[in-house]
Amino acid sequence: MGMTLHFLGILFGFLLFVSTYAQAEVPSWKIKPSVCVNSMSGTSCEFNIKIFTANLPKGQYCLYRQQHRLRCLAHNGFPIKLTVSLQTQSSLLLKDAGDQVILSQILSVKSLTAKKQRRRLRSPWSLF
């Protein structure tokens, strides 16, 4: 009984070590900010973003907004500052030298006012 518990303890410790090591090797990134706020819907919104990466393997990478290439750089070229102009929601992609998508993030546009004011069809008050 004691040998079985000892073996299970060692197995559990090994699995914990392997899962921690596997999680540490997954590439990730943070993009700040990921939302641009403009004054009116439908107008262009330009903002500066900063991209931080973690666990990115050595190599060359390219940043894309949808299918438009923005910039290419080496793995050690991060963090990076970038100016982006959007009118609608868009995807920011990080591709490796083999053109495979490694990471992706949605960039959103929020507006303070609507594009068109809708005319009220009936009066807000009534006699009856």
Element of type H or E holding 30: strand 28-32
**Which CATH class, in words, describes the domain spanning 27-111?**
mainly beta
Confidence of residue 23 (pLDDT cuts 50, 70, 90): low
Between strands 35-40 and 101-113, the pairing is: parallel
Q: What percentage of the chain reaches a pLDDT higher than 90?
A: 55
Tell me what pLDDT residue 29 has. 95
Tell me what pLDDT residue 16 has. 55
Tell me what pLDDT residue 124 has. 74
Residue 8 has pLDDT above 60, yes or no: no
Whole-model pTM: value is 0.68
Tokens in use for 127? 């006699």
* Full 3-state SS string of 43-83: CCEEEEEEEEEECCCCCEEEEEECCEEEEEEEHHHCCEEEE
Q: For the chain, give every domain's residue range.
A: 27-111
Q: What is the mean pLDDT of residues 30-57?
A: 92
Tell me what pLDDT residue 6 has. 54
Distance CA 97, CA 33 (A): 26
- How far is CA 100 from each of CA 47, 78, 86, 91, rounded to the nearest angstrom? 27, 19, 24, 15
Alpha carbons within 13 angstroms on the beta-carbon side of residue 123 total 4
When comparing pLDDT for 117 and 43, which is higher? 43
Q: What is the mean pLDDT of residues 14-23?
A: 53
The string of pLDDT tens digits covering residues 69-90 is: 999 999 899 999 999 999 899 9
